[in-house]
Amino acid sequence: MGLKVTALTDSRVEKLKSSMLSKSRMKLWMIRVTTSVLLWICLVQLTILGETWGPRVLKGWPSCLSQESAGLLAVKSSDEVPARVLPPKRVYRNNGYLMVSCNGGLNQMRSAICDMVAIARYLNVTLIVPGLDKTSFWADPSEFQDIFDIDHFIMSLRDEVRILKELPPRLKRRVELGMIHTMAPISWSDNSYYHNQILPLIRKYKVVHLNRTDARLANNGQPMEIQKLRCRVNFGALKFTPQIEELGRKVVRILRQKGPFMVLHLRYEMDMLAFSGCTQGCSHKEVEELTRMRYAYPWWKEKIINSDLKRRDGLCPLTPEETALTLRALDIDPSIQVYIAAGEIYGGERRMASLGAAYPNLARKETLLDPSELMFFQNHSSQMAALDYLVSLESDIFVPTYDGNMAKVVEGHRRYLGYKKTILLDRRHLVDLIDQHNAGSLTWDEFSTAVKEAHAERMGNPTKRLVIQDKPKEEDYFYSNPWECLEPSYEDETLSSM
């Protein structure tokens, strides 16, 4: 009888244990299922947000389910693509931290960034990712990472200089409390100025903020390693964001499908005309509007301007009408696609009529892309300019009608890419020839011959920069012709022997 009771008890215990184990397994399974469902919902929601709002909301959060990510995974898993090898970190005694605020438009800021990296390297300091101008005429709110690939910028230069996205917490708090030395360095200074004047301030204050950085490093007379580093930053480290790069490639693909194309940097925009005081071909009402705009900006110091005199001196951007005559005189094929790299042309269709008649295949990013593709770039002039920059680099011919920052930096970049054809217009000579032709003193053939002869050696061919001692503003700009970084050529050897 005792054995039966024991056996019965043991059986009940086993059943109870089995039941409890089964319930535990069921609970564990339910927890796993619930967790998986919740994680899946979160991933889906993040993916939807990422695809709807783009990188502005989820910067650095790739969409796990997007085709782009799948493609990247496929590339990474391919044995044919070698893994990226990062340069080793440069180890040095850090003398302090350099903060910089760039001013101006995209290409003015671009060259300033290159200069500041070279200065930070020379001074053995840590550079904080540069701040971009948000208070200029364009009022672009873009941050560095909205235009440039910030991680590539930092990592690709780590063997030269330490770059941080922000100051360490302790120093950041000091800056927030206003405990920082801010100044504008002297324009066109050489490396000795930064070593003798700026470095002692960095050692004293630990953080120095340079609040104007355009044209602050001299074009010439710099050590070769500084010149080479300026080029390395410009041509390698400053990549645009993947979104800008892909859209730029798309514009180029669309143009290439239809044949060769020329990029015309037609700088006949309201801000340029107001700033320069150039009013050739404008109505009386437009002249008044441009004058009011010039007086509205206190940093545009030159107020009373003689437009005719300035034009004769070659200091005005060519008008659309003058540009059409010049391109025809140079025998540019009328059927070529002409991509207009510019903002809104002042005077609209009325001023573009003659250029459109001479070259009917005009194109702009707004006519080649769907409005939805440009939606995130609207009201961000630097991002729009970045698209034009990429297309300009790839064009068969690049023609700037004014020697502003974009014209100069693109010219230098095209030289770096193999001296791609860049027609550098001699505006002073051109307007004189155009006026003679319009007055009837030059026939078309005479005019065309004179224009061709004047520009035979102005096609972006190899040459050395013009150096003018004590007049840095009048000499050639480093970024328009960084010959120290370019492949040597027969022309270079000839020039060096002269």
User: What confidence category does residue 303 fall into, taking pLDDT thresholds of 50, 70 and 90?
Assistant: confident
User: What confidence category does residue 296 fall into, taking pLDDT thresholds of 50, 70 and 90?
Assistant: confident
Sequence letter at residue 251? V
Sequence letter at residue 427? R
User: What confidence category does residue 73 fall into, taking pLDDT thresholds of 50, 70 and 90?
Assistant: very low
Secondary structure class of 208 (helix, strand, coil):
strand
At residue 405, does pLDDT exceed 70?
yes
pLDDT at residue number 258: 97
pLDDT at residue number 16: 46
At residue 396, does pLDDT exceed 80?
yes
Mean pLDDT of 319-339: 98
Mean pLDDT of 207-215: 95
Helix (H), strand (E) at residue 154: helix 150-156
User: What confidence category does residue 72 fall into, taking pLDDT thresholds of 50, 70 and 90?
Assistant: very low
CB-count exposure of residue 52 (10 Å: 0-12, 13-18, 19+):
exposed
Q: What percent of the chain has pLDDT over 70?
A: 81
DSSP for 157-168 reads: TTTT--EESS--
Residue keyed to tokens 């064009």: 395
At residue 350, does pLDDT exceed 80?
yes
Residue keyed to tokens 């006026």: 435
pLDDT at residue number 20: 52
97-100 β-sheet, strand order? 163-164, 126-128, 97-100, 207-210, 181-183
Q: What percent of the chain has pLDDT over 90?
A: 73
Mean pLDDT of 114-124: 98
Cα 437–chain centre separation: 39
Beta bridge partners of 422: 398
Tokens of 404: 């502003």
User: What confidence category does residue 65 fall into, taking pLDDT thresholds of 50, 70 and 90?
Assistant: very low
pLDDT averaged over the chain?
A: 86
Contact 129, 113 (CB under 8 A): no
Secondary structure class of 374 (helix, strand, coil):
helix
DSSP for 288-315 reads: HHHHHHHHH-TT----S--HHHHHHTT-
pLDDT at residue number 357: 98
User: What confidence category does residue 494 fall into, taking pLDDT thresholds of 50, 70 and 90?
Assistant: very low
Contact 217, 479 (CB under 8 A): no
At residue 240, does pLDDT exceed 50?
yes
Mean pLDDT of 183-195: 96
Q: Which residue has the higher pLDDT, 136 or 239?
A: 239
SS3 content of the chain, % helix, strand, coil (to 5): 55, 10, 40
pLDDT at residue number 70: 35
pLDDT at residue number 81: 45
Mean pLDDT of 382-391: 96
User: What confidence category does residue 490 fall into, taking pLDDT thresholds of 50, 70 and 90?
Assistant: very low
Interior angle at CA 225, CA 92 and CA 242, nearest 5:
80
261-265 β-sheet, strand order? 362-363, 337-340, 261-265, 397-400
At residue 46, does pLDDT exceed 60?
no
Q: Which residue has the higher pLDDT, 218 or 86?
A: 218
Helix (H), strand (E) at residue 395: none
pLDDT at residue number 8: 42
Q: Which residue has the higher pLDDT, 394 or 39?
A: 394
Secondary structure class of 360 (helix, strand, coil):
coil
Mean pLDDT of 327-339: 98
